Each structure stands twice: as structure tokens, then as C-alpha cells.
Amino acid sequence: MELKSLLDQTIIVAKEAGAFIRKERQSFDLTKVEHKGFNDLVSYVDKEAEKIVVNGLQQILPEAGFITEEGTINKQEDVYNWIVDPLDGTTNFVHGIPVFSVSIALMKEGEIILGVVYEVNNNECFYATKDGGAYCNDTKISVSQAPSLSSSLIATGFPYYDFEQVDQYMELLKYFMINSHGIRRIGSAAVDLCYVASGRVEGYFEYNLNSYDVAGGLLIVQEAGGKVTDFNNGDDYIFGRQIIASNGNIHQELYDQIKKVW
Ligand code: 2AM
Ligand code: CA
Ligand code: CA
């Protein structure tokens, strides 16, 4: 199937799940939260949203497998695999902070060829296809032209369950706090990546993320002219649990600081 047609249908699926999440939020309260592990929150909304996404995607491309956060399906294939986070930003969702997203990527033989991130409450749908550019709704987006860290805003995610490297992380925060326009903790890795892609922030770094947290946003950053690496300046950022994304101009500065402490 043609990539453009796959994209259009994936966007419809992401928005359908987003509409469900938005509706459920209206009657949501903290008693409906379950704990998957320490600080790891999940609810029926995550699981139901995943079913909506998986059902929709199965109809679009029946031969594709899946990697999903909630594991409602367990089937990987050789050529095509969807990587799905049905609700990225669950902690925000359960506390009523209105920043969360539906994140979907399509991988072909290990390479991401399509990414869609739907930021539910802003009604902003970010998307990209391989070599097709990056968009927010129907407008082409590109990364910020800021030349250096000193003129940049940096997004990150705080550690929340594995605190072994928290001292190194705090050193980085201190450095970026002093040497940039500031730091933002948005709460959805997928949204962080889209904000790099659309030039709202210049850089983003986080560790201990899973493939489904970042897969949907990676290609959007790259197609918007940005750069993505792992903490070693390599390309193990889908499954490698470490990510640096930037407008390109400030990548070396981010990497140099991370390398110093990591
Ligand atoms: P999630 O909402 O799908 O869990 C924010 O730092 C990123 O980390 C989000 O993409 C979030 O994805 C992920 N994350 C996973 N577990 C988390 C937790 N317990 N607290 C905060 N973020 C978590
Ligand atoms: Ca999730
Ligand atoms: Ca996630």
C-alpha cells in the first residue's frame, strides 16, 4: 500500500483513540488508576485506547506485527511492525494535566517509515513519512534555527523509577538550567519530540524510555530537519533507552555535557 494512504488512515486511527481518551478524561478520577509497578500508572483508558488503535491498524495493514505498551496483542512480523503507545503521558492524564498523546510508528525491516503523534487536547496531529517531510495538522514544520544552547529551551523527563543515575542526571539539569533559556518537563516523550520538531524547544534528552515512548516522534524530528542520537552519539535510540533529540545546531553541546557525566 502507498505510504501516503497508510499515513492518512493511521491519522484517522490516532484521532479515534484520542477522541476516546478525551471523552473518558471527563469522568476520570484517581480511584480508576492501577499500578503496573512502582510509580507506573495505568488505567482502563490506556488499555481500551490501545484496543482501538490495534483494531484500526490491523485493518490498514493486516500483515504487520505489533510492539505495544499495554501488550493487548503479541505478534511481531519480519517486515512490518507497528510500535504503539496508546496514551503517552499517563501521569498527566490521571492527574488532569492536559498534555498527553497517542503515539504510533510503522517500522519496515527495522527502520521507521511513518510516525504519527496526536496531542489530544491541543488537537494537534504531528506526522511524518520517510523522505516526505514533517507536519502538524496540515502545516509543514521544521526545527528551530537557534544556533546554540545559550538561546535554547530544553525539554527532558525526570527519572521516576530507577534512581541509580539520578546524581548524574541532576548534574545535567544544573548545567542546562544555568546555560540555556530553561528546562521543561512536559510529561509525554512523544510530545517532547514533536516540540523539538516544531521548533518550540531546541533540545530534548531522557533515559530509561521504551521503544513505544519514542518511536512515533523520532521520524517527525528527523523529517523536520532535526537530529536524534543515543547518549553515545550513535543510532541505538529506538530500543536503546537513551535519547537526545535536537534542532541539530545544539546537538554537540547537549552530547558533550551528557558524555561528561554519563
Ligand atoms: P507513559 O505515560 O506512557 O508511561 C515521561 O518522562 C515519559 O516517560 C512518558 O513518555 C511516559 O510514558 C514515560 N513513563 C513511563 N513510566 C512513567 C512514570 N511512572 N512516570 C512518568 N513517566 C513515565
Ligand atoms: Ca503509555
Ligand atoms: Ca509512554
User: What's the pLDDT score for residue 37?
Assistant: 87
CA distances from residue 128 to 148, 173, 240 in whole angstroms, order as listed: 26, 30, 22
Whole-number Å distance between alpha carbons of 181 and 133: 28
- Among the bound ligands, the one closest to the CA of 70: 2
* Domain ranges (residues) in the chain: 3-140, 149-261
Instruction: Please report the pLDDT score of residue 185 as a whole number.
Output: 98
Most ligand 1 atoms within 8 A of CB, residue of 70, 85, 88 to mutate = 88
**Looking at residue 125, what is its pLDDT?**
99
Do 92 and 78 touch, CB atoms closer than 8 A? no
What is the per-residue burial (b if ≥16 Cβ within 10 Å, else e) of 201-234? bbbbbbbebebbbbbbbbbbbbbbbbbbbbbeee
**Ligand 2: centre distance to CA 102 (Å):** 8
User: Helix, strand, coil proportions of the chain in percent (round to 5)?
Assistant: 40, 25, 35
Domain 3-140, CATH:
3.30.540.10
| CA nearest to 24, candidates 47, 54, 1 | 47
CA-based end-to-end distance of the chain: 43
Q: Which fold has domain 149-261?
A: D-Maltodextrin-Binding Protein; domain 2 (3.40.190)
Q: Is the CB of 50 under 6 A from ligand 1?
A: no
Ligand 1 pocket, residue 216 CB under 6 Å: no
Q: What is the ipTM of this complex?
A: 0.95
pLDDT of residue 189: 98
Atom of ligand 1 nearest to the CA of 90: 2
Per-10-residue mean pLDDT of the chain, 262 residues long, equals 96 98 95 90 95 98 98 97 98 97 98 98 98 98 98 97 96 98 98 99 98 98 99 98 98 98 96
Residue nearest to atom 6 of ligand 1 (CA): 157
